[in-house]
Structures are given as C-alpha cells and as structure tokens.
Structure 1
Amino acid sequence: MIRRWCVLVLSLTVLWTVAAGAARAETGKRVHNGMQILFSPSTPSAFCTIGAVGNDKYGHRIAISAGHCLNDPDGTYADREIPDDVAPVYDRADPAFGPIGHVRYFKDPEGSQTGHMTKDYMIIELVPQVTLSSQGPYLKQTGEVRVPGGTASPNALRPALDSERLLATGNEELIVAGQTGVWFGTIMDTTGGIYRSPAAHLPGDSGGPAVRHVPGSELPSQENGFQAEGPWAGITKAITLSLPPFEYTSSANILADLRARDAVTPGGVYGAGFEVTGNP
C-alpha cells in the first residue's frame, strides 16, 4: 500500500482566501528547477518544489510541480483548468516578492495516489516579472527526455511522441535534487509510468527535479561541485513501503497527459506542448 510521504497539503479554499498581493514591478528574479515554493506565506513549513521551468505552445511561461501538493476536498478546482488567479505560488526564500505565478491545473491528491497515480502533476503559470532559468542549485536541464521507440506512457495518445515514452528499467539512471543535495540511482520499475529508484528525497521535495543521466556524462561528485545536467525526466512523487521506496512521476506521463487533454480542449490547456527553457 502506498503511503503518501508529503503530508503538507493545503485546501485550495484556504489558498483562495489568502491575499495574493502584487509582484514587485521589477525583473530578474530567476525561477528554476529545485526552487522551493509556498502556497501561502503564512505557512512556510508547508512547501513543495519546482521540477521544471519552460514554455508551452500557447506562449505561457510554465513551471511544473506535484499535483498532490494541493488538496481540494470540495472538488471545485481539481483536475480542471483554473484561469483565475485564485491559487498564488510564492518563492519560499522570498515570499515578500509576491506571487511568482498561479496554479492553472493540478490533479487531486486522492486520485493521484490511487487510480490516477499516473497524473500527479501541477501546472503553474509564471508572472511576467520573473526570468526563467534551466539551471537549478544542482541540476541543469537540457530539454526533455526523448526515447525513440520506447514503451509509451499509459497517458499517451496513439501514436505516442518520443517525449511520451519511458526510460528503460534496469539500465537507465535518474539524477535528482532536493533538500539533502543531489542523488542518483538506477530506475528499478516503471509501472504506470512512475519511476522507482533508490535516488533519495524528503518531504517537501515533492515536485522537485529529476533528469536522465546521459551515458558518458559526469555524475555529480565533490570534484564537480555536485553538479549534473541532462534532459528533464520527471518530478519527485512519493516515498512508499516498496523497495526501493522513492517514486518519480515521469515527464512522459506529464507531457502525454497534457497533449491528451489539449486534444479534447484545444487552446485551453495550460502547459500543452511544454518545453524546458533554454535560458541559462
């Protein structure tokens, strides 16, 4: 039985009552993978993490995190587009800046951990006052994972795009980053498009970045300052009772679900066609 490891979930109803405030009219704040985020400045211990930053095909500036970071018990907002600015997102290190963005979609946590575990993600539209960056504290993301001919995400339309196909079990490694630094480990399972790996994380790292270790590239080490780079492979999901315990929602699942939803509602899905920013 899967145990949800990130218990720091907030009611969207509560979020809606928090005054969003206006972001300062200045540019230059970088938003990047590995940034810790809040949904209310009044609860700084209830945080999650950004997994990837980029643009969608409609010109929206997007950050991606974990859907289970929010809870909507009334079902008012979960699993649907949220065009209104009712759910602000803040940089945990600088909440006084004001919102860095607003939640546009998230999958309800009850579903994400059970029958809809393949769709545990959140889409945040970033405000114009921030600068997108591919460089996090430890990981630089170089585009998205593309796997020609691989096993397709269960969320994929047919035919699946290369970016909607999964990394192979047993001979691919994830490199992940969070509060305890940077870790890497072999992908041991891909059931439902969810990667299981010994690469470690902690509560609060939900939504944080995972990249594919490109064969021949440097792994993080003391010699290189614990830095690594690679294509975006997924986001931190859960700690479970299975071994190894650490789960990651694949980028293939997220990108495939965005495309599938966009096929039903063309032009209305924030994040559709997402590509990681090339900004340094």
Structure 2
Amino acid sequence: MLKRLAALTLTLALTGTLGATTAQAQPHSPRPAEGKRVYNGLQIAFSPDTTNLFCTLGAVGTDDHQRHIAISAGHCLSDPQKKYADREIPDNVAPVYDRNDTGFGPIGYVRYFKDPEGSQTGHVTKDYMVIELVPQVTLSSQGPYLKQTGEVKSPQGPVSPNALNPALDNERLLTIGNNEIITSGQTGVWYGTVLSNDNGIYRAPAPNKAGDSGGPVIWHVPGTDLPSTANNFQATGPWAGITKAITLQWPPFNYTSSANILADLRAREAKDPGHNIFGAGFQVTSNP
C-alpha cells in the first residue's frame, strides 16, 4: 500500500498578494453539529504527517449513483508516473483527511484527478478532483461562510469547452462584467465581479492564497445580501466553481467554473461503457 501511495505527491498552487475587493472577514468555525460534518471550505490534507500542505473542498453532494462526493482542485496532486492521473481510482490508494482532525481518519478517498501536466496552476479547463466520502461523515451545504444552494445555471451564457452538444444550463458559463462571485478561504470571505472568462476560467478581484486551491465559489444572486459585518460575512447562493490559482494577468485570481467540472464529468460518463464515473451527475447537497 505504501509503495502505491508513493506515486502520489502533493503540490500547491502559486501564491501572491495582488488585488483587493470590497469585503473581508477573518475565518471562524462553522456552527457545531452532531457527528462529523463535511462542508465547503473544509481544509484537507493527503497525509496526517504533512498537514502543512493542504487544499480546500469546494462543494459536497451526491453523484448519479448517490455516492457522497466532494470536489476540490486537481493540481493538489501530482502523479509523475501517470499511474493514477486522469482515470478512475476505485482503490483506496489516496486517502483524504480533515486537516484539523486527522485523528478521525480518512474522510474519503480520491477517485479522480486531472494531472497538472507540468503546470503549477493545473490543467487549463479540467483542474478538478473527485473525492468519494466515507459513510461515517455527514454532508452539509453550510461552510464557514458560504451556504450553497444547488448549482449555478446560466441559460444564456457561453458553453463550457468541455460540454457535449447540446449543453445543459449548468454547463454554461457566467458572462463577464455583470456577474459577481463570492469566495472564502484563509483570509476570509470576498466578492468581486467576473472580469474575464477564459474557456471557463473566471478571473475576479477576490483574493486567494496557497492552500485555498479547490475552495468554494458561489454566484451572488442579484438582490440578495452581500457578505458584510451586518450578516457576519455570511452569504448564500448556488455553487459556481472552485479556487484555481494566482497568475500574472489582471485580475490575478483564477477560479475554475462549476460548468467546466460538471460538463467534463458528463462527457466522461458518456464515454464510459459502464456509465459509472465517480462524480458524474454531481449535485450539491441540500443538507443544512
């Protein structure tokens, strides 16, 4: 088992300090609940011995086989020997831990990740990871700041480059200039306008840093409250993507759209003879 695990090594996203937005808060713990909750914004490690190297969960829910699933960033893992990357991983060779509660044991196992293919910022349009959660955990839509309500749908938006034809509404992208996203991570909760959309990679002035990779992004539903001191920096909205990287472009903060992830999962499922792709048909949990 240890020899097989050695093929998987952790890598982190680029770091940086550029940019600013209009809302910030300091992190706090989610509301206490019975049992082991798993939620968006949970920091994850891939070994109990290296919790200083971590990523973050972007969304939790179920797939079309009703398996409990979490989504994070693909570039969090690297597989130089190409033994596991970009294929289904039915064996429990890559455990995932709650970074702050490794004593619980694995909260799940990586079932798929898209290899970075030499890039520190991950695959261009498919930078995601699928984790199957263990039965002992409870799914929750409520993260430290963000409550997710389903998946964002953009019927009039451009189609994800990963989508089949015809594309579903949740496989279409947010348009630029008139949509805001809300994110959360180690520096708190932020929001900003989507100013660039490059094949389903959003750029917005909502900061992230190393370790936030894979973390949650929601769409700001027009007319609903933005995070502020008045609401303890809480926000509610449909899942819109995950934290990707910081680059030299402006804005420097990059986010992989949920449309790209959902479209690629459905396309991979269509090609699979058994139609048994982990994460295909993913839906965000409605559990509180």
TM-score (norm 2): 0.87
Counterpart residue number, 1:163: 170
Residue 208 (structure 1) aligned to one of 182, 205, 215? 215
Residue 232 (structure 1) aligned to one of 236, 239, 249? 239
Shift in Å, 1:149: 2.8
**Aligned residues between the structures:** 261
Residue 275 (structure 1) aligned to one of 265, 283, 286? 283
Is 1:48 matched with 2:48? no
Shift in Å, 1:114: 7.8
What letter corresponds to residue 14 of structure 1 in structure 2?
A
- 1:82-231 counterparts in 2 under 5 A? 82-110=89-117, 116-231=123-238
Distance (Å, rounded) in 2 between the aligned partners of 1:74 and 1:217: 47
**The structure with more helix, counted as a fraction of residues:** 1
- 1:238-257 counterparts in 2 under 5 A? 238-257=245-264
Distance (Å, rounded) in 2 between the aligned partners of 1:114 and 1:198: 17
Q: Tell me, yes or no, if the aligned pair for 1:211 and 1:230 is still in contact at 8 Å.
A: yes
Shift in Å, 1:112: 6.2
Distance (Å, rounded) in 2 between the aligned partners of 1:164 and 1:248: 15
Shift in Å, 1:113: 5.8
Distance (Å, rounded) in 1 between the aligned partners of 2:162 and 2:118: 15
Q: CA offsets per residue over residues 123-175 of structure 1, 9 Å max, x none?
A: 00000000000000000000000111321100000000000000110110010
Q: Tell me, yes or no, if the aligned pair for 2:7 and 2:80 is still in contact at 8 Å.
A: no
Q: CA offsets per residue over residues 183-242 of structure 1, 9 Å max, x none?
A: 000001111110000011110000000000000000000110000010000000000001
Residue 70 (structure 2) aligned to one of 48, 63, 87? 63
Cα distance change, pair 70–130 in 1 and its aligned pair in 2 (3 A): same
Q: Tell me, yes or no, if the aligned pair for 1:15 and 1:39 is still in contact at 8 Å.
A: no
Cα distance change, pair 210–259 in 1 and its aligned pair in 2 (3 A): same
After superposing on structure 2, the runs of 4+ consecutive aligned residues of structure 1 that deviate more than 4 Å are 111-115
Distance (Å, rounded) in 1 between the aligned partners of 2:167 and 2:51: 40
Which has the larger displacement, 268-277 or 113-122? 113-122
Distance (Å, rounded) in 1 between the aligned partners of 2:258 and 2:132: 18
Which has the larger displacement, 174-183 or 27-36? 27-36
- Supply the RMSD in Å over aligned alpha carbons: 1.8
TM-score (norm 1): 0.90
Q: CA offsets per residue over residues 224-278 of structure 1, 9 Å max, x none?
A: 0000010000000000001110000000000000000000014221000000000
Cα distance change, pair 144–58 in 1 and its aligned pair in 2 (3 A): same
Shift in Å, 1:115: 9.2
